[in-house]
Amino acid sequence: MSRIINYRISGRAKLLPYLGAADGLTPDQRRVHGMMLDRARREQAELDCQGVDLGLTVPAALEQLTAGRADSTARYAGGAYTRALQCMIACTSSDPNDLGVYSRPSTFFSLLDEELTRAGVDPELLFHARLFSGPPDEIPFPLPHPGDGPYIGMFPLALAGRAAEAYRAALDLVGEGFRHDLRELAELLEFAHRGWEPSTGNADRYGHDTIYFFTLG
Using one digit for the tens of pLDDT, what is the confidence trace for 18-76? 999 877 889 999 999 999 999 999 999 999 999 999 999 999 999 999 999 999 999 99
In this predicted structure, what is the pLDDT of residue 207?
Answer: 78
Which carries the bigger pLDDT value, residue 203 or residue 134? 134
Is-contact 69 51, C-beta < 8 A?
no
pLDDT tens column, 88-110: 999 999 899 999 999 999 999 99
DSSP 27-92: HHHHHHHHHHHHHHHHHHHHHHHHT---SS-HHHHHHHHHHT------TTHHHHHHHHHHHHHHTT
Give the other-Cβ count within 10 Å of 109's Cβ. Answer: 25
Average pLDDT of span 189-205 = 69
CA distance 65 to 167: 37
> What is the model's pTM?
0.92
Whole-Å CA distances, 97 to 8, 60, 93, 192, 212: 7, 27, 12, 11, 11
In this predicted structure, what is the pLDDT of residue 71?
Answer: 96
pLDDT tens column, 40-51: 999 999 999 999
Give the other-Cβ count within 10 Å of 73's Cβ. Answer: 8
Tell me how many domains the chain contains: 1
Query: Percent of the chain at pLDDT above 90?
Result: 87
Whole-Å CA distances, 51 to 1, 45, 57, 149: 17, 10, 13, 16
In this predicted structure, what is the pLDDT of residue 208?
Answer: 85
* Domain with 72 in it: 3-216
Q: How confident is the model at residue 199 (pLDDT cuts 50, 70, 90)?
A: very low
Is-contact 142 163, C-beta < 8 A?
no
Contacts 24+ apart (CB under 8 A), 199-205: 203/157
Give the other-Cβ count within 10 Å of 12's Cβ. Answer: 20
In this structure, of 99-113, 116-130, 197-211, the range with the lowest mean pLDDT score is 197-211
CA distance 104 to 140: 32
pLDDT tens column, 166-196: 999 999 999 999 999 999 999 999 999 987 6
